Copies of this chain bind each other. A is one copy, B any other.
Amino acid sequence: MAEKQQRTLVDQVFKKIFDLLVRGEIPLGGVVNEAALAERFQVSRGPVREAVKQLQGRALVVKEPYLKARVVDLSVEDMIEIFQLREAVEGMSVRLATQTMSDSDLDRLLADFSDALENKDGPVLDVHVRIAEASGNSRIRSLLCDELYYLLRLYRARSGDAPGRRQNAFSEHWQILRAMKARDADLAESLMRAHIARATSALHDLLESRDEDGADQSEKRNAG
């Protein structure tokens, strides 16, 4: 365990716990036990404690004093809230990127996108990440890449996004990139917002279809 001591233990533990969440070993709503994780990673409780606190800071874990820490249980309502925020922030993100990206960077982004179109392995999210990084606004980039996308990955790890939207996403991304290439910031922002709003609508539909079905949405899992 004392091999890749390049960073601090807290950071290592943070990533290990996060992997546990993404891989579903600790289910959403499950309990995060400091002592158990400390034993598992062969470290003391201190680093685990701080890592959990950091996860709490990123809203991946909820906790009250002296109460067990729990993995956030992302409801559809939560995702709708996140997507509303994304619509606003990513709209600004692509607006700024359109205004400030250099021609060469823009061309490279387009080329990389075309490559990804052929061998469809790269995740859809990557385009959004690239745009966020190109926005030149570190706070927007951090909010999207370090916070919201983590939550998205967590949610998708359980629910799995609708596979039908995959093709539409490519087309919508392509339109956004063309608007960026044309240096039309207004259009790029509108397209991005419409792109995300469409996903929000899908979540709203999912919510309604659930309300019509049985009201057994109160299923919470525990893991002691």
Contact = CB atoms under 8 A, between A and B. Distances in A.
Interface of A: 7-8, 11, 49-50, 53-54, 57-59, 65-66, 78, 81-82, 84-85, 87-89, 91-92, 96, 137-140, 143
Contacts of A66: 8
Contacts of A82: 139
A84 B57 contact: no
A59 B140 CA distance: 13
How many copies of this kind of chain does the complex include? 2
A89 B96 contact: no
A65 B11 CA distance: 10
30 contacts: A7-B65, A8-B65, A49-B50, A50-B53, A53-B57, A54-B57, A57-B58, A59-B139, A81-B137, A81-B138, A81-B139, A81-B140, A82-B139, A84-B92, A84-B96, A84-B137, A84-B140, A85-B89, A85-B92, A85-B137, A85-B139, A85-B140, A85-B143, A87-B92, A88-B89, A88-B91, A88-B92, A88-B140, A89-B89, A143-B143
A91 B78 CA distance: 20
Given A88-B91, A88-B140, 18 more contacts: A8-B65, A8-B66, A49-B50, A50-B50, A50-B53, A53-B54, A59-B139, A78-B139, A81-B138, A82-B139, A84-B92, A84-B140, A85-B89, A85-B92, A85-B140, A85-B143, A87-B92, A88-B89
Q: Tell which of A49, A57, A91 has the most Cβ of chain B within 10 Å.
A: A57
A90 to B, nearest CB: 9
A57 to B, nearest CB: 3
Nearest to A11: B65
Contacts of A91: 88
Contacts of A143: 85, 143
A195 to B, nearest CB: 15
A78 B136 CA distance: 11
Which 8 A-B pairs rank lowest in CB-CB distance, beginning with the nearest?
A57-B57, A88-B92, A88-B88, A8-B65, A81-B139, A81-B137, A88-B89, A85-B139
Contacts of A138: 81
A78 B53 CA distance: 26
